[in-house]
Structure 1
């Protein structure tokens, strides 16, 4: 009798299990925010399917939830977005689901249309102000298209969250739309130490990790390095301007001072970050997207107990000020910046970093995230 009751209970629970289809335009390998969201939902009783695109060099995944990668003919520009969104639309349309989770504006249209056609709940996670990304600065027509799409759909959405208060306030003011804030914090980790693939004995390490794209302030840091003795710059990541940066390093004869480690896995990165003496996030103010940025590398540095040097921009400077785990860039000229870096490297932030490491973790965001999905409008 007890076995029968237990079986009935399990069958009833299975029926109530809500299926969420999560979509992104990347290949799933390095998107840590989406992985954290999916894992949190999965371990709290949701059936999760994450959809992205397949690239030639896409790494194999081992996730506790279901993943699906869409092979594409076109992988760049307008044709990529058109093909991906069309394929995603039909996959979403003919898949069983209870909830749709769209990540960023470039997946929103198919999610919104399927939600409207089939009466399914939709949740929107805005990682950034997409129409304001620097890549669109010199593409006014493309920017206008994305802006019109955003203006059409966002006021109709009820279940939204984003990465920081500034973006949430921006959307509320522009579209009168409510956005919750789910910060992109790392999971709590024990520090593990690896080794750099070069000799750094007796030298300080300045670390940049993340996308190597326009506006990240990397050109400035490279220009600053000749004014820093016994100091190395390590750049981990890949992006559009990496070849230009390598050429800049060659022209300045800084090959023995600056190392490019390329794109590495989160597991490998976790072992290298704690080796740094200073983590940098010195983005330029290239429009609203960068102005309101709160890069997850800042929190990765803190989780590794590495002090930070950040731009004088609203969100990131508040982390440095509130938690006292680093400093804000005072002057963006190489000599003055080098002088500031020297002083920062001499300071001890260990007590503040230890405290911030415990507070700024994903586990403290999970309750807010689950509240959204458990009380959909």
Structure 2
């Protein structure tokens, strides 16, 4: 019998690399109904589109009041996107329900019936945006309640790395497995270096808190060998923050802004550069324990890597000799580390990325999901 799988994600899956890979893997296991913002992603047999204007958290006046009064069951169920998703799902039955991020867990358990729920927590849910005061005061207690209430009831839990998996296991007593944000192995070779040049590149979201200003300031302080190209997804602010970054770069002709590139096309686009760069201060637990998509995109692009310190990324950079780790998180730290790189070192780091690319691809992670689906849906004897 073909498995019927429901995948809930309060994101636009077509712009969400992790969930895109997840849906592709699930589609090899059965028919997949996706519930999300945006249009149908590849691999979906049926798609139920939630209007993008509907928030996935209880941001209405009654919802905010419910959060403030700690009436979490009622408040969570009244989030506009949750209500709409519930209407779209209706009374359909499934053999497995997959919830992406904590905000989808209550709905997943509500509609699952007797089917098992697999929770993909992505990162550490209780502190997703705890650097924002309103989020910290109102949403963090709700997210903690969701985890405490629904994770022990879930048949399977996955997250992005070992450090965060340990947190879930220790705080909520649930067995948590790791599915990294690694992409598929790409048939690329390291691009040749250009004499006298080190081409830096960064890809990601143009949202405050990502320390992008420090990256721009670092490059402005570097010598003429260095250039920086930025492939940034504009935020929902209409591109206002993206424009502030362009203003920060000023007339510096060694810093270039590009349109965002589709996740599938990103490694091939980045392949023409030399060093993938990222510096993120540990303002939240997720920042401190980061292992982001872009790390794996840089590896598949066969780039050297320069990151700020973090247990997960620093370990992989060291183990595979992929590049360098800065001493801290300032523009000065980044400038210092980059200025010490030689063209010969960068070339070797790029070759090391080529060697590590198979191990740091999604093949292992896809096998974890397939094994979990089989285990969770196998008839119990």
Interval containing the TM-score (normalised by the shorter chain): 0.7 to 0.9
Q: Residue in 2 aligned with 1:234?
A: 229
Gap change, CA 1:65 and 1:185, over 3 Å in 2 = farther
Per-residue CA deviation, residues 212-252 of structure 1 (Å, 9 max, x unaligned), is 22332211111112211232222212244863454354256
Gap change, CA 1:73 and 1:314, over 3 Å in 2 = closer
Q: Does residue 182 of the first structure (1) align with residue 179 of the second (2)?
A: yes
1:176 deviates by 0.9
Q: Residue in 2 aligned with 1:143?
A: 140
Counterparts of 2:247 and 2:321, CA distance in 1? 36
Counterparts of 1:278 and 1:79, CA distance in 2? 41
Q: Residue in 2 aligned with 1:219?
A: 213
Q: Does residue 70 of the first structure (1) align with residue 50 of the second (2)?
A: yes
RMSD: 2.7
Gap change, CA 1:177 and 1:267, over 3 Å in 2 = closer
Q: Any stretches of 5+ residues in structure 2 without a counterpart?
A: 61-77
1:100 deviates by 0.3
1:186 deviates by 0.8
Per-residue CA deviation, residues 124-163 of structure 1 (Å, 9 max, x unaligned), is 0011112312365312122222222222222222311111
Instruction: Report the more deviating stretch, 147-156 or 238-247.
Output: 238-247
* Partner of residue 32 from structure 2, selected from 48, 51, 54: 48
Q: Residue in 2 aligned with 1:88?
A: 85
3-state SS in 1 of match to 2:120: strand
Counterparts of 1:65 and 1:202, CA distance in 2? 51
For 1:1-377, what aligned pairs fall within 5 Å after superposition? 16-43=1-28, 45-54=29-38, 61-63=41-43, 65-71=45-51, 74-75=54-55, 78-79=58-59, 82-115=79-112, 118-134=113-129, 137-139=132-134, 140-191=137-188, 203-230=197-224, 231-240=226-235, 243-244=240-241, 246-251=243-248, 253-346=250-343, 347=345, 348-376=348-376
Instruction: Report the more deviating stretch, 20-29 or 67-76.
Output: 67-76
Q: TM-score, normalised by structure 2?
A: 0.83
Q: Any stretches of 5+ residues in structure 1 without a counterpart?
A: 1-15, 195-199
1:85 deviates by 0.7
Instruction: Report the more deviating stretch, 310-319 or 342-351.
Output: 342-351
Gap change, CA 1:153 and 1:373, over 3 Å in 2 = same
Q: Residue in 2 aligned with 1:12?
A: none
Q: TM-score, normalised by structure 1?
A: 0.84
Per-residue CA deviation, residues 9-37 of structure 1 (Å, 9 max, x unaligned), is xxxxxxx1111010111122121221212
Aligned residues: 350
Counterparts of 1:374 and 1:251, CA distance in 2? 51
3-state SS in 1 of match to 2:33: strand
